Amino acid sequence: MNSAELWPLLESGLKIVFGAAMATAFFYMGRLWHKTQALADAPPTQHRKLSYLEQISADVNHSFAKYSALVIESTRFGKRWPAARKQELERINAELVKEFDRLAEAEARLLMLGEKTMEKTLRLYAARIALFRKQVYVGREDITEQEIADLKNSIMQLREQFYDILSRRYDKLLAA
Domain boundaries in the chain? 1-41, 45-175
Give me the helices (H) in 60-144, please. Answer: 63-77, 83-113, 116-135
Q: How far, in whole angstroms, is CA 86 from its chain's centroid?
A: 34
Q: What is the pLDDT of residues 76-119, one digit of tens each?
A: 887 888 889 889 989 998 998 898 898 999 999 999 889 999 99
Instruction: Decide which of 127 and 136 is more confident.
Output: 127
Does residue 154 register a pLDDT over 90?
yes
Rounded Cα distance, 125 and 102, in Å: 13
Q: What is the pLDDT of residues 24-47, one digit of tens each?
A: 988 888 888 887 776 566 556 777
Q: Contacts from 112-117 at CB under 8 Å and sequence distance 24+?
A: 113/49, 113/52, 113/53, 115/169, 117/165
pLDDT, position 38: 63
Whether 89 and 67 have beta carbons less than 8 Å apart is answered as yes
pLDDT, position 43: 57
What is the DSSP-derived secondary structure letter of residue 80? G
pLDDT, position 168: 93
Rounded Cα distance, 82 and 78, in Å: 10
Share of the chain above pLDDT 90, in %: 28
pLDDT band at residue 129 using 50, 70 and 90 as cut-offs: very high
pLDDT, position 126: 92
With 0.85 as the threshold, say if the pTM is over it.
Answer: no
CA distance readout (Å), 60 to 57, 164, 172 = 6, 13, 21
Rounded Cα distance, 111 and 26, in Å: 45
pLDDT, position 50: 83
Instruction: Decide which of 48 and 156 is more confident.
Output: 156
pLDDT band at residue 150 using 50, 70 and 90 as cut-offs: very high
From the list 114, 121, 125, 106, the residue with the least C-alpha distance to 173 is: 114
